Amino acid sequence: MGMKRILLLILVIVFAACKPKSNVITTKHPGYKKSRPSVTVSPKPNTKTAPSTTTTKPLSGSSTTSYGNSKADKIIKKALSFKGTKYKYGGITKSGMDCSGLMYASYKSQDITLPRTSFEQSKKGTKISVSKVQRGDLVFFKTTNKNRISHVGLVIDNKRGEVRFIHSSSSRGVMISSLKEGYWSNTFAEARRLL
């Protein structure tokens, strides 16, 4: 009987790992403004890149929206191909995926293997300032426990100081959100560069 309770407790914790505490409303309208405080990102172009943990060439500029042939562009393109996919804990396919599964599948398309949890993914690469994020970087959040990383997203662009990222929400599946949105601004923990 004790083993069933432990298993049930583990399942409850696992299913809550990528679930936001509130219902998040994400808009497709680029002019969306939230009155709550938000993360401020410098709008000036990035002229330096953080130290790399791999031998790939630096990412292209963060102010473009066209996707070229760099590894970052290909990873983003793969992630965007999952847009609308429903949330499924532990999933890594079109039939369903969680936040870390989206990162795993997207990076795997370029032969980069990531760990399978957002917490473990947050230990990879180089920590960078949110003002320096570029397409292909990962953004991490503390959504269920303020002391531990529990959610991850992939930066798809950083334009005019707005960092947009693709992620898998337990309530809405794979979607695009902005760090300017109050919920994501308030739960943002760190950004990391893997390329």
Q: What is the pLDDT of residues 112-143, one digit of tens each?
A: 999 999 999 999 999 999 999 999 999 999 99
Let me know if 29 is a catalytic residue. no
What is the pLDDT of the chain when averaged over all its residues?
Answer: 78
Q: List for the chain the helix, strand, coil content (%; round to 5).
A: 25, 20, 55
Alpha-carbon distance of 29 to 20, in angstroms, equals 22
In a domain, 55, yes or no: yes
Note if the pTM is more than 0.75.
Answer: no
Question: Which of these is catalytic: 71, 132, 135, 167?
Answer: 167
pLDDT score of 178: 98
User: d(Cα 76, Cα 186) in Å, to the nearest integer?
Assistant: 24
Catalytic residue among 151, 164, 192, 193: 151
**138 lies in a domain?**
yes
Amino acid in the structure at residue 165: F
Banded model confidence at residue 36, pLDDT cuts 50, 70, 90: very low
Q: Give dist(CA 70, CA 58) in Å, integer.
A: 9
Q: Mean pLDDT over residues 164-181, rounded? A: 97
Domain assignment present for residue 182? The answer is yes
Given the residues 50, 76, 99, 133, the one annotated as active site: 99
| pLDDT 10s digits, 85-113 | 999 999 999 999 999 999 999 999 999 99
User: For the chain, what is the domain count?
Assistant: 1
Task: Report the CATH number at residue 6.
Answer: 3.90.1720.10
